[in-house]
Structure 1
């Protein structure tokens, strides 16, 4: 365990002389991570039901629900562009898991014109030519527990005291990747993930758990324990409890990992990260930037420095237009073909 409130983040490559040493360290980080999130169950066979279809000008929006682990059902929007892929791309399009932020509306926030400005990245990517799957996370959209308010995880922990909301979200999203990969219109080798805030770190977590994710965009979704004025945001709370056992570690003055170590599980998957220096939710932008620099050093050691781009600017907890444009260009570089 590491001591909390250290002056800086631990260095990913300290004592790492070669690729074999990194793989050993990566395996140790992954083992610790899986233990704290309660593990990831095997995926269940793909099954989904179409609930409704809506024709928009440039895409078709399909309202569906798909099976997930523990007998659960995930509600989602599937946005299928009307543009035809080129013959040279095999007649298939790149696809995106679009993960929403902490918004009661869930998937609607990022897929409908009624969504908040700077949050409609699911809609924008569909109109850019990506097949988009935008699921409701547990406690949001159509998946709020009966008798509970949005983002209240108490009913989940009553049923699964040894599991975590983080583990559940990753498991649900892996099932979503199964769905995308099964579609005739999707190139299963060109699936990415994008999200803002809650959706941003879920995109990073998903990439670390599923090698089918070939590019990741996280907006205001990365933070560190180091310098965080509220590190228990990740632990046991009255509303959305991510990983309850972290509270016990924090009370002892320790943390089991630093967050760039978890992001490193996905390396060298192409990663675009955006952080705002005026972010009131994650205000500790300096250690966040330090962690990103250290993570980029790992990408360089792995021979892929061009696969990571981390930006920070003066805005708040937002996904501004110029940053989204840069993020979409990044996805195009790694997922789209010139012919698409």
Structure 2
């Protein structure tokens, strides 16, 4: 569908507004404020990074290269360039992915209504993405020349090797190989990076009637020299494109050559790439409109998974890891966003929107360790807005599967089905099977609920030590009465739990695919209900103690991995004499599909309610195991797990202690834009507590808050860890909640208080924090 020559025009007032927003004063084009106060904050942000980030050379990958021709490390680059992080305080906090159809989102919020609007937004996305993520690319060279190095027959098919030369004095080169199907053409084209001894992809393409084209711009680990590595030096410092974008730019040089061939169908050029090459494929298609369809396969961070959903609480490939272990893949500026991923002005969904209206299929395994299908699906929903706007909603697809990182041949055949569908060579339409179909509006339809927040009075923290008749609470006996009222409020928001008993031992083949942590030989284990109990063992393989204290460990938002990445914390606990029980929470790891239709089955309940029920059922099981001390059952959680731990502790007196790491920020003060996700986190994004969605914009009327949950744990010991620059929380508000709750603790004793720790860190469960948590529990 072509929109060239559209007669729709932006009204003069709107045009002037756009020009003012994009190019005048304020934050400027790249979110940089020049004021003295802003500069002071930016220096502070930089110092925070230097305090918390791992050293440049920590576990760097052996095939990693320097980030730039002049710098050996990120630190070298920062010191030489003098660049500072952006002024995060001046940048909007968006609860969802950046909307491709809004200009100046979080500011003027100008909707994209015309093609001219869209072209303005497209150009802005392109500039922002290169500036913050990949670096800038040179313009297309105009001096391309080529040499056919070899032509040969392979099983009756014609194959030729070609050398391209271009750039200043033809100093840049790129090697191609083309494998032709029988016939005269013109032929569709399938392109991918060249891997030594890997013929299967292009062979699959030739079987479907495509010319298979491979080019040598990729990681040298695949067996060939990376021709694009020299581009960095040739165009430096005027252009600073990093490896992913150099590979993408090289793909465009291959297309320059293909455009000279009469046997090529220029309207049917498809590109695919796997893993790091999947990142390349998406970036190439975003910037080169000659690519008519693209399939980035298991591309992960910097590919089909938005950076917002790679932060530590999502437990996949973080910006911190990627920019340290592979510092040459993306631009060093991206590292400024470690711990503040939500502040990126563009994200991978923005790149996907640039591909519209051309074909785009997002594909990955839903249980691969470096991926996050939740993030992929959010990106799909967001980018589809641009596709729908351009009348091409059927040209974006998502293909999620079980299995490992690499696709199988059966998967590749579906990808060619997609190319055929886009090129109108076949009629097999993508199925677009999704695992995260929840939305607040869908839940409202399913539950038939409507809650008017104005029916609830505004609340203040001073109300904590007042009963429902506003009389002061002066004793623990008085508080115990109020605690019952708070429990009723929690249960109301969590929804009505159906009558049930806890599940027994469950067999699941996915546990064989999504492996449990490989632990030290001094640790024993046994399956209990839907999880696994780990415990220290003696030389005979029996529990070391007859009365082991036990920790229920609740994982973060690790959609793909569940608890399978919890090796370090499990070993920390067991090496310190604790048993640990852990499991995949509903919607995560091996239990992904339990979450998909949860609200179709239990519209009046909630996912958080089910998670709390799982903890209760776990305690039932653990209390019956002879070598565990049922009087010392503690719950520890990070992020999502920290939230579930607090709710569980407030409702189940058998829990003897709770640790919540980055588990909450007070809801009543978490107004839109204050933190990364706001209360949308519960009601709209993750679908944990849908009823809270009615209180968006009226947060002070939420019937309870976390200071009441914390107080409901009195007099049991509680540790709250609230990192100083947690993008998902206000540490000031968390501190106030702890202070308020400790007023209730004072009714019981002057000796036991909620302990608050505020590490100078971002939201993560670091090794240091894990050690501190274990030490705290040992001291109880």
State the TM-score, normalizing by the size of structure 2. Answer: 0.37
User: SS in structure 2 opposite 1:3?
Assistant: coil
Deviations 1:42-96 (A, max 9, x none): 562673258899773220233x362xxxxxxx3x222121149xxxx97221111
Match of 1:97 among 532, 549, 552: 552
Indicate if the aligned counterparts of 1:207 and 1:213 stay in contact, CA closer than 8 A: yes
Indicate if the aligned counterparts of 1:46 and 1:179 stay in contact, CA closer than 8 A: no
Q: How does 1:87-166 map to 2 (within 5 A)?
A: 91-103=546-558, 104-110=560-566, 112=567, 120-145=568-593, 153-166=595-608
Match of 1:57 among 511, 515, 521: 521
- The answer to whether residue 724 in structure 2 is matched with residue 268 in structure 1 is no
Q: Larger relative contact order (C-alpha < 8 A, sep ≥ 6)?
A: 1
Which residue of structure 1 aligns with residue 764 of structure 2? 318
Which residue of structure 2 aligns with residue 186 of structure 1? 628
Deviations 1:175-213 (A, max 9, x none): 111222122221111111111111111111111122211
- Cα gap change, 1:77 to 1:16, in 2 (>3 Å): same
- Greater C-alpha Rg: 2
- The answer to whether residue 696 in structure 2 is matched with residue 250 in structure 1 is yes
CA distance in 2, matches of 1:210, 1:138: 20
Which residue of structure 2 aligns with residue 233 of structure 1? 680
Deviations 1:289-316 (A, max 9, x none): 1111111121122215424211113211
User: SS in structure 2 opposite 1:187?
Assistant: strand
User: Number of residue pairs matched?
Assistant: 302
CA distance in 1, matches of 2:658, 2:633: 9
CA distance in 2, matches of 1:40, 1:81: 36
Which residue of structure 2 aligns with residue 71 of structure 1? none
CA distance in 1, matches of 2:761, 2:752: 25
Indicate if the aligned counterparts of 2:711 and 2:742 stay in contact, CA closer than 8 A: no
Moved over 6 A (4+): 50-55
CA distance in 1, matches of 2:535, 2:506: 16
- Cα gap change, 1:42 to 1:303, in 2 (>3 Å): farther
Cα drift, residue 166 of structure 1 = 1.0
CA distance in 2, matches of 1:16, 1:259: 18
Which residue of structure 1 aligns with residue 664 of structure 2? 222
Stretches of structure 2 lacking an aligned partner (at least 5 in a row): 1-455, 467-471
Question: Structure 1 or 2: larger strand share?
Answer: 1
User: SS in structure 1 opposite 2:491?
Assistant: helix
- The answer to whether residue 478 in structure 2 is matched with residue 21 in structure 1 is yes
State the TM-score, normalizing by the size of structure 1. Answer: 0.80
CA distance in 1, matches of 2:667, 2:546: 45
Which residue of structure 1 aligns with residue 533 of structure 2? 78
Q: CA RMSD in A?
A: 2.6
CA distance in 1, matches of 2:622, 2:718: 20
- The answer to whether residue 777 in structure 2 is matched with residue 331 in structure 1 is yes
Deviations 1:116-157 (A, max 9, x none): xxxx322311222211110110111100117xxxxxx45111
- The answer to whether residue 738 in structure 2 is matched with residue 292 in structure 1 is yes
Cα drift, residue 41 of structure 1 = 5.1
Indicate if the aligned counterparts of 1:107 and 1:135 stay in contact, CA closer than 8 A: yes
Cα drift, residue 330 of structure 1 = 2.0
CA distance in 2, matches of 1:226, 1:58: 46
- Cα gap change, 1:285 to 1:55, in 2 (>3 Å): closer
